Structure 1
Amino acid sequence: MITTLNETTSSAISKKMTEMRETFGATTLGSVLTLIIVATGEDIDAPLEAAVRASHEHPSRVIVVDADTDEPTGLDAEIRVGRDAGAGEIVILRARGETMSSLDTLINPLLLPDSPIVTWWPEDAPSSPVHDVLGSISQRRITDAASSSDPVASLKRLRRGYASGDSDLSWARLTRWRGLVATAYEAPPVGLPQRVTVHGSKKDLTVRLLAAWLALELGVDVKVENTPDAPAGPQAVVLEREDDTVELRRGEGDAVVISLPGDQEDQTVPMPERSLYELLAEELRRLDPDEVYGEALAQAFSKVEDASTFAKDKPEPTDAVSESLEAAAVRAADDVAAHLAEAISARGEAHLVVTGGTIGTATAEALPAAFSEHEVDPEAVHVWWGDERFVDAESEDRNHQAVRTGFLEKIAFASGKLHPIPSTSSGMSLDEAAAWYGQELDRAGGDRPFRTRGEAFFDVLLLGVGPDGHIASLFPRHPSQQLDGASAVAVVDSPKPPPLRISLTWPVLNSSRHVALLAAGEGKAQAVADAHRGIAPWEVPASSVRGLETTTWYLDAAAAGDAAAS
């Protein structure tokens, strides 16, 4: 039975589901979990079919979120029960426009009470699933990096944002390989291999994860013998011991051939490609965290770049030195407006990140005149914050307050284009507020640029520089620097009061086309000089944010030190 509801609400959907359950049978009484499928591609049939088949093993309420942010705001729904839904029921939500901004409110009334929640992204997934609005309410979060446009880059991003409870179908694709290798290794005579080689394409995620798992389990270095044109999956595993060799290799068709010491004949084991249903069903069998996957993922990308690499291989910074703080602020504002006008002309909208501090506030106050001079359409500009003090909404300590009077209230920004960081008045905890802001950024379209070098989301990023060289709320030698998995991070024990803050992270700060670093006064001269010596994020955070196109230091003569005014 299939029922369609147009221009509906979550409460109306819930009511209709109750009616259908009473009419066609209480199919959900035996359901053991809620499975949320986030449809990021055009085809939802394959994931739905897999979920329906898996429901016979794991009775579930399946909620499919099929979103289109470009359409007018609204919500349609399709409810399936009976034979059309397997051993459970299915709700397909077609959310449009601004409906996506309240996705958690939309989903909550439809969740099975007191049951585990699993969220599955069959294609493109957020880089930090646990910080996603749906991932944050889920016990398990399933991704499939192999289905993305760049599988290796996607899995690298997932490694940075990994949290206990995450898993990827690439790992489930390896289950049979891992079982065969373990069985072959334990066949007598058992001995620790001196060399291990995995054959296959380095672009294949299962090859990388298998090599990582073997390195962890055996405690030896594992070499990946790259065969770029190989079919999907590992092609061979060779364990070389002191006196013999164990080898598993792909044979004809779907078989794996195993060669063991002392055996006169090889063993052939069938290993057909696993269907999407089989992979999903395996993931749903265990709802506790798969810590072995987490360890293998970390091992596979153990050399993931440190913070400095986000700034490398970009144009070198230039200095714009003025006689006074006021002149430096006006100069910065003029360049900011020019960049925003260019962005709007090229892409139809622009994203600006503002900052607080003395020169940051002065720059914001100079922006209205610069907007007018360069004919910047404010309705096409999104405004974000690089960091914020986690205090009351009306506190003068907030960066939002610093730029509100001189900038925000003098320009007619469009509804929904201002994105302030939550305050304590929001009712959220510090961690919740940081996660929420990160989700807002990712939802706005920055998730991939924030995790991919060479891509940008922001058009202009304004950053004030502290006397110690800090930018945003990333301070020298502070642990918050190392938390780059999410887009925004909670900062505690800030060296500068107030102690609780929220800051954008390294990959996000380095996802701007143009970066404007602002410093004024003799007290900033040493930090400016230190930052000019080279990229060193741990010691001098201001040295490690670069724009994809330009990075400019806007300085007054005192902060510039020996630099001449120009």
Structure 2
Amino acid sequence: MEKSMIGLWDTTGNEVVKALAAERRSAGGVASGMALTLIVVVDEKRVREAEAAATIAAAAHPCRLVVVVRSEIERDRNRLDAEIVVGGRLGPCEAVVTRMYGRLALHAESVVMPLLVPDVPVVTWWHGEPPAEIATDFLGVVADRRITDSAQAADPVEALRQRARDYAPGDTDLAWTRITPWRTLVAGAFDTASEQVVEATVVAPPSDPTAALMVGWLSSRLGITPHRVDTDEFPRMREVRLSCANGDQLTLTREDSMAVFRRTGQDDRALPLVRRPLGDELAEELRRLDADQVYAEALGATAGLRGLEQRPPQRVHVWKDPATAQRAEAGVTAHTGTSGES
């Protein structure tokens, strides 16, 4: 049962702010204890999944959670529905779940900005296909950190390349978070050795964005060009092989929730390689609120772009009306059809 919850239907942003303040007083919420504001942009069908992940992350990082669900932007009439939860099913965080309809959905910042906790960082997470350009979404521009998930795109590897083209310091992607265990194991293999790696191979499905970033990370760290071996036998990255200048071979192979580590002249070792829940991945990214230079270098190597970490950290909002774009596209199509008939 909810400790404190209120629903507002066909309301206004001002009413949401006032209702949140009242619920906070009723539940004893203290905004000064918040570490950040987490904005989640998500489709209606995935709201519960996003809430479950944010609940896990909020347990480690007390935050105000603002969920933005945009729907039916072509509707003639604007409408805002909101659900305010303080405690209860979403854990220790203060949460506002907003559902925006009509043209209001294109101006979500008018509702979200008054809900931000003063003087704490803002993180925006898109739980769905990442935006082509973050500067076209004010909720990304206002954030200190921006979390995307290229695995949600139709072409995950191309989405990563777009992330590189659009990159600004403060951006990150959950595909990067998912290779943290792999990077830890690879780096740990050299704790007691200093041989130079002269060749690397990554075995993975061709559409796996984690493998693409692993190749980029190895390239940026080792100064070599790793090989990709594509396989459709496994759903995600299967193996990383390293060849050293002294002839030693190091191999990490995924076996369910374990990795088998093999090294020339040593016995095989089984090491943990557990696939973590989405909430744990999100919590990891919330641990740091500065720019991730290692990620920038790996992403740049993945896309063949240099100097990503040297780009200006500030983003400037660029307004693009999707309805205008649709009308322009429809006009081009109609014109093309007419020309074809003449």
> In the alignment, is the contact (CA less than 8 A) between 2:33 and 2:62 conserved in 1?
yes
User: Of residues 69, 74, 96 in structure 2, which corresponds to 1:91?
Assistant: 96
Q: Which has the larger radius of gyration?
A: 1
What's the CA shift for 1:183? 1.1
Distance change in 2, residues 1:9/1:170 (3 Å): same
Residue 192 of structure 2 is aligned to residue 192 of structure 1: no
Look up the match of 1:152.
Answer: 157
User: Of residues 42, 49, 69 in structure 2, which corresponds to 1:39?
Assistant: 42
Distance change in 2, residues 1:27/1:84 (3 Å): farther
Distance 2:328 2:34 in 1: 41
What's the CA shift for 1:287? 0.6
**After the TM superposition, which parts of structure 1 deviate over 4 Å for at least 4 consecutive aligned residues?**
512-515, 547-550
> In the alignment, is the contact (CA less than 8 A) between 1:34 and 1:112 conserved in 2?
yes
User: Of residues 159, 174, 177 in structure 2, which corresponds to 1:172?
Assistant: 177
What's the CA shift for 1:245? 0.8
Residue 56 of structure 2 is aligned to residue 53 of structure 1: yes
Distance 1:44 1:87 in 2: 18
Residue 332 of structure 2 is aligned to residue 439 of structure 1: no
Secondary structure, aligned partner of 2:55: helix
What's the CA shift for 1:136? 0.7
Distance 1:215 1:92 in 2: 42
Which whole-Å deviations, capped at 9, do the CAs of 1:233-276 have from their partners, x for residues lacking one?
A: x211111123211111112x21101112331x111011111110
User: Of residues 22, 27, 44 in structure 2, which corresponds to 1:24?
Assistant: 27
What's the CA shift for 1:26? 1.7
Distance 2:39 2:82 in 1: 14
Look up the match of 2:207.
Answer: 203
Distance 1:154 1:248 in 2: 27
Distance 1:445 1:55 in 2: 38
Look up the match of 2:241.
Answer: 238
Alignment of 1:61-460 (within 5 A): 61-68=64-71, 69-71=73-75, 72-188=77-193, 190-232=194-236, 234-242=237-245, 243-251=247-255, 253-263=256-266, 265-302=267-304, 435-436=316-317, 438-441=318-321, 443-444=322-323, 458-459=329-330
Distance 1:246 1:269 in 2: 14
Secondary structure, aligned partner of 1:228: coil
In the alignment, structure 1 segments of 5+ residues that lack a partner are 305-430, 450-455, 461-511, 516-546, 551-566
What's the CA shift for 1:294? 1.6
Distance change in 2, residues 1:445/1:65 (3 Å): farther
What's the CA shift for 1:24? 1.3
Distance 1:89 1:303 in 2: 40
In the alignment, structure 2 segments of 5+ residues that lack a partner are 307-313
Distance 2:239 2:106 in 1: 47
What's the CA shift for 1:27? 4.3
Distance 1:254 1:10 in 2: 46
Identity %: 34
Distance 1:154 1:262 in 2: 41
Distance 2:330 2:297 in 1: 37
Which structure would you say has the larger RCO, counting Cα contacts within 8 Å and 6 or more residues apart?
2
Look up the match of 2:310.
Answer: none
Secondary structure, aligned partner of 2:227: strand
- Matched residue count: 327
What's the CA shift for 1:131? 4.2
Which whole-Å deviations, capped at 9, do the CAs of 1:105-153 have from their partners, x for residues lacking one?
A: 2211111011110000010221222442111100000001102232223
Distance change in 2, residues 1:62/1:286 (3 Å): same
Give the RMSD, CA atoms, in angstroms: 2.6
